[in-house]
Structure 1
């Protein structure tokens, strides 16, 4: 197929604008401030309400969110398009339960409380599920863009994925959160305008006579009684598996005040749901269309290409100029989430993995320059991994689902307990990870060809696990964390658990962790954190407040 030159020119112009804005933001920040890793991570904790709403909404509304929602409606029906509602509620949950608590303590990443409470190595271990989630998320985003460019511009999928990832990587490396925030504003506007502009043209195409005709078969469909367990499991996964994400927590922690941090989450939750509406409508149009009346060369293959339904609708149900604007919307969605995911993962690695372990081993904090370079090198590695995943996995919605699966089962119970359960300790955390991982592993993943080892209730050979075993795994993690933490605390208080067998040093915390908790926008330190005084005599040790500033 010949490359569509006008479409290629349009996308090149868009990429140049985004890259230019990102580089301008980096240049502007470098003129005003000296190189500072926290500025790159949190933009100096200077986000106001308006810009915060834009950047938080844009971070969640990625290519996987847009393309995946359209795919779910066309393939499974609107009742199974759970991600928009689930992820919107997840942001609201962050605002209600976590935003104020995290922001007022002046954390830099969501792994900071783990590092303070459980130690450096446990925080570094919990980085792994967070990293996997980010890579799967970014892979879904890039996959969506590759499919869109291949349909509308006839550009090779792999080439478009690599170029898009490289551009997002470049301006993120240069400007950190400053570049990400500046570009998010432009990208969100492009998404809104581009998708809504496409909807009326798609619905008025001659092949789409009436979306109400055969709606039950085409795009409404139904949820079988046997699938109720899976249906509930998926909703809980999206809602609570969408909470412990650094891309969201990073916006909360970057806010100027606690009030702004909570308010922007509520508005962004509504914004995320609203931004999914045109994508859902496009999915409905694609599912309702008679593709034999379009210029698509192989209409009989459409049911096998639901993952590409959004770009197919833009290309074959809309005029070329509308398709190019819609392509800009998808590209904007991809960029807005790719840069956020790359930045958030590299932030946690530089601060909570490399920086923490370096301090543990040497007793010295990593210099600002070294931290910045560690961030940049890790950004390159993360972008390469996500790009490779996007090239090898074809279903956008599957990647979209899988990223929250890992976070929900392993990370969410840990996150809730470290924030809300004062007695939680490393022993409980380890037990929670083991229980959750074991149940999740035994349940298998048939979409990846991994057959279940244990057949939970209602198992079907044709449809797989129908029991909500992922929620069971998360609940098991909660039980393990709470019960084992309570038990070890009780044994220590009674003198049955001595310091000699306290291998994780849970009851002998050191005051220095290498973490600085300070609000640089106000100059004030964060709230002190609970621990145990290291200098009190053995057997007479009492809980008290330790400052980690």
Structure 2
């Protein structure tokens, strides 16, 4: 494999620019946990909007969109549509409530409702989702590097992970937000410049796909389609990487409006990679210097975006396009490592184990978490083989468990720890036993219509989510009734949901009260909820 020296030089310069901007953005800040986690709640409309859009428009977003559009058609390019609708709904429904409460992470209301230890346990779906998302992003970069620059995928993944870790380590959300702004412009410029060159290449013949680009769906795929649509729609409503920006905004109004605008920009940014996917499907690869035959395998489609840039565009344009993908990778990867590290340092380490931890101690726990999460994501990326598969999978655990858990924590008065734990167990069990082809997990439970070729065609992920929700609500209501109506002695209240004690956790000097309500309080709130 021949190394593209000009391309390597170009990407080195790009990486240096990003590192310098990232360190500069964070160097003059106090460096305490409030700055690192929510940037002192100082983000204005411009920065908040672009960093929200850039968080969504990652390497997995643009590579995965091109892959799905080229291989499966418009109908099956569900990810960008569902995720951006999810952001839009979150902006209207969830954002005003959580920003007004001035939480530090999205796990604060979860721990407030269900207790610190249970909230820590519910961090597992977030961790899995973040690791899969990060792996998809780094995998997209590695695929691009191997084709355009002629370097090994593992080298690109490791180097990019190190760069992301370094500037996030020192600057926290300040560095992440301000580098996101620069990276967003790189993404726009790189993709837009590549489009006309690829579109007009002689090897591209759109008559080849005149009947296939919209996509097709058999009747036995309807359940899969519905499941994927709902998964992407609900999977982003609870994402810490998104709420980290929202909670850092100057006001509730800025938070809501920046989220809405960010969703619009993110949706528009799906158009160039989707067009590149169509171009890839319309290309006669025998007319290019691509060293394979004209029929692309299933695995080849994961590389369609860098292939179009490399074989259908001039060298300079392909290098600029690679800069766009690198920018997209970093704009999401830094968000992920910071988001996961934030939850671990505050909601796990401080709230569960070290409530007396100093600000300096928490800062170093956060930085340690950033290193660990960044490393794990890179390791998964090196062994993965489907960008779009990981891109969809990253919302899976969030949809099945965290979506109902957070929603009930914010709006259901009688939701309690017993219900949350039962929901976690039920939802996780049904989801895991349903199998997962991307991770080579076999299906233990074969839902109705199971097909040896297609696998599960029943919308079992949505079934698992609904089962989690039903379990959470029913067990919460049952235990609330038993303890408040004195049908069951409070000595059996092992989680102290209805006892006389109350626990407190600190939120940068503001109490997040986890006060245990009296029987009359719970009854009044429950009656009010049911009557409404």
Does the CA-based 8 Å contact 2:414-2:522 persist in structure 1? Answer: no
> CA shift at 1:499, angstroms?
2.2
Please give the alpha-carbon distance, in whole angstroms, between the structure 2 residues aligned to 1:98 and 1:349. 22
> Could you say which residue in structure 2 is the equivalent of 1:473?
464
Task: Within 5 Å, give how 1:8-19 maps onto structure 2.
Answer: 8-19=8-19
> CA shift at 1:214, angstroms?
3.1
Does the CA-based 8 Å contact 2:87-2:236 persist in structure 1? Answer: yes
Pick aligned residue for 1:383 from 364, 370, 374: 374
> Could you say which residue in structure 2 is the equivalent of 1:513?
504
Please give the alpha-carbon distance, in whole angstroms, between the structure 1 residues aligned to 2:524 and 2:462. 36
Are 1:319 and 2:310 matched, yes or no?
A: no
> Could you say which residue in structure 2 is the equivalent of 1:336?
331
> CA shift at 1:233, angstroms?
0.4
> Could you say which residue in structure 2 is the equivalent of 1:456?
447
Q: Structure 1-normalised TM-score?
A: 0.92
Aligned residues: 524
Pick aligned residue for 2:360 from 369, 373, 377: 369
> Could you say which residue in structure 1 is the equivalent of 2:287?
293
Are 1:118 and 2:103 matched, yes or no?
A: no
Please give the alpha-carbon distance, in whole angstroms, between the structure 2 residues aligned to 1:487 and 1:404. 30
Does the CA-based 8 Å contact 2:122-2:424 persist in structure 1? Answer: no
Pick aligned residue for 1:532 from 516, 519, 523: 516
> CA shift at 1:299, angstroms?
3.0
Structure 1 stretches (4+) deviating beyond 6 angstroms? 539-545
Pick aligned residue for 2:181 from 178, 181, 185: 185
Please give the alpha-carbon distance, in whole angstroms, between the structure 2 residues aligned to 1:195 and 1:401. 22
Pick aligned residue for 2:77 from 52, 69, 81: 81
Task: Within 5 Å, give how 1:62-141 maps onto structure 2.
Answer: 62-141=58-137
Are 1:282 and 2:305 matched, yes or no?
A: no
> CA shift at 1:221, angstroms?
2.5
Pick aligned residue for 1:147 from 143, 148, 154: 143
| TM-superposition CA deviations, 1:458-484 (whole Å, max 9, x none) | 221221111101000000111111111
> CA shift at 1:270, angstroms?
0.8
Change (3 A) 1:114 1:294: same
Please give the alpha-carbon distance, in whole angstroms, between the structure 2 residues aligned to 1:44 and 1:438. 40
- Corresponding residue SS for 1:488: helix
> CA shift at 1:365, angstroms?
2.1
| TM-superposition CA deviations, 1:367-413 (whole Å, max 9, x none) | 00000000011111111110100000111111111111111111111
Change (3 A) 1:462 1:498: same
> Could you say which residue in structure 1 is the equivalent of 2:405?
414
* Structure 2: tracts of 5 or more residues without a match: 526-532
> Could you say which residue in structure 1 is the equivalent of 2:7?
7
- Corresponding residue SS for 1:515: strand
Please give the alpha-carbon distance, in whole angstroms, between the structure 1 residues aligned to 2:225 and 2:523. 44
Does the CA-based 8 Å contact 1:75-1:303 persist in structure 2? Answer: no
Please give the alpha-carbon distance, in whole angstroms, between the structure 1 residues aligned to 2:444 and 2:499. 40
> Could you say which residue in structure 2 is the equivalent of 1:248?
242
> CA shift at 1:542, angstroms?
7.1
Change (3 A) 1:509 1:99: farther
- Corresponding residue SS for 1:130: helix
> CA shift at 1:230, angstroms?
0.5
> CA shift at 1:355, angstroms?
0.5
- Corresponding residue SS for 1:216: coil
* Structure 1: tracts of 5 or more residues without a match: 519-524
> CA shift at 1:541, angstroms?
8.2
Cα RMSD, aligned residues only: 1.8
> Could you say which residue in structure 2 is the equivalent of 1:346?
341
Are 1:23 and 2:19 matched, yes or no?
A: no
- Corresponding residue SS for 2:297: helix
Does the CA-based 8 Å contact 1:530-1:543 persist in structure 2? Answer: no
